Amino acid sequence: MKKKPLKIISLFAGAGGMDLGFKNAGFDIIWANDFDPDSVKTYKRNFGDHIVLGDIEKIRTNNMPDNPDIVIGGFPCQGFSIANLGRSVDDSRNKLYKQMLRVIRVKKPKYFVAENVAGILTLGKGAVMQKIIKDFKSIGYKVDYKLLNAADYGVPQARRRVFIIGNRLGLDNQFPKQTHETPLTEKHMLAEVLEKHITTKEAIGFLSKAPLTNKVFYSNNRVIHNHVGDTNVHDEFWGRKYPVNQFDICDYLKKWRKKAGISTKKVDEHFGYAHTAGHWFRKDNNSGSIPNPDDWKGLKKLLGFDSKYDKQATTLVKKKIQFEQSLRITNWDTPSDTLTATSPEIHVNLKRRLSVRECAILQTFPDDFVFEGATFRSMHKQIGNAVPVLLAEKVAKEIKKMIESKSLIRAA
């Protein structure tokens, strides 16, 4: 008798990277949710109508299917990201894991899988992660987590993400073993038989000569969708309006820190995470030495300094970044850098940003997975927020093996 596929509820589904990985591993997604309209359009086109558009905080659990085998979700990461300099323990987005907790508490799946950025491990000096694990354990789950690099599993992208796995079957949680060597692979691991990492060039090099188009076309015996992107490589950034001498400011801040009798360690503790505070008080670093406006205000409150440099440090204006080599992909012969939900990198040898399809390939979405969205930014955001499909599939296969092993033990 053929086994029925294990059923999944997917929260914060986005465009469906994690969902597709689990589907490829033989699971059945019976219900999903996301609040972004374009992501939901993409999801519906590629999976079907079982996704619900809306704020998870406003959706009652009795409107979700009962008896799922697994609940999965990559709860929003903006508040946890190391790249987010303004992150805070109190960021409201950091509390969305509690919506996942709410669903799991009521639906009681055999397993759950949560995914998030590496920055979650250091937020609040680790206190946030400890709280999350404690909360999931409190509702009856054995919980483990591990930081995985997608490049270690055949994804052509160095993307480090935390996976939290919990089960109420009394099993030890298992994570997939590394399958691919990367430039950072430790030498002692090379004794194991690891495949060569997938480079950016190997993954998307075949599209370098293909003109950007929204039409479907064939390239390298592949049917290509969404090979669209931004050829305007003049980007904007926030820069300081008034000239400022970082050495003068370093001396100024150092003087006030000593006057207040506060160590750099205490400054770190005040901000609540491993901060770059040390750079603010020394003159041997040419980048990151001047606090951003929010940090400046926080420092002023902590150290009690005067308003001498307030205008220079806190007044920002938008400026143009011209097309420069420094903005290009630099790792053509290694896995790419982590794709983000904002602007994609500029192509290594073309005057354009990476196309939607190129980014999708770096996230291991298949060629027939079509993205919906009125703008390039929307589609790039969906891809940048996604879990790499191949990595999700390998995590899913480990869970499937664990569930099936439990079933075999019961049947014996």
The rounded distance, in Å, linking the Cα atoms of 223 and 18 is 23
Alpha-carbon distance values, 3 to 167, 358, 393, 407 (Å): 21, 37, 19, 12
What sign has the CA pseudo-torsion 96, 102, 103, 105? positive
The rounded distance, in Å, linking the Cα atoms of 127 and 143 is 16
The rounded distance, in Å, linking the Cα atoms of 14 and 39 is 5
CB within 8 Å of 263: residues ≥ 6 apart = 257
**Is 77 among the catalytic positions?**
yes
193 CB neighbour count, 10 Å cutoff? 7
Burial 152-163 (b: 16+ CB within 10 A, else e): bbbbbbbbbbbb
Instruction: Please report which residue ranges of 73-141 form alpha helices under DSSP H.
Output: 97-107, 127-138
Alpha-carbon distance values, 219 to 204, 213, 223 (Å): 11, 13, 7
State the number of CA atoms in the 13 A half-sphere of 154 facing the CB: 14
DSSP-assigned states of every residue in 122-179: TGGGGHHHHHHHHHHHHTT-EEEEEEEEGGGGT-SB--EEEEEEEESSSPPP--PPP-
The one-letter code for the residue type at 248 is: D
**Of 77, 356, 361, 379, catalytic:** 77
Q: 213: which 2 tokens?
A: 């188009």
The one-letter code for the residue type at 111 is: Y
The rounded distance, in Å, linking the Cα atoms of 372 and 37 is 10
CB within 8 Å of 7: residues ≥ 6 apart = 27, 28, 30, 65, 67, 68, 69, 70
The rounded distance, in Å, linking the Cα atoms of 28 and 33 is 15
Residues serving a catalytic function are 77
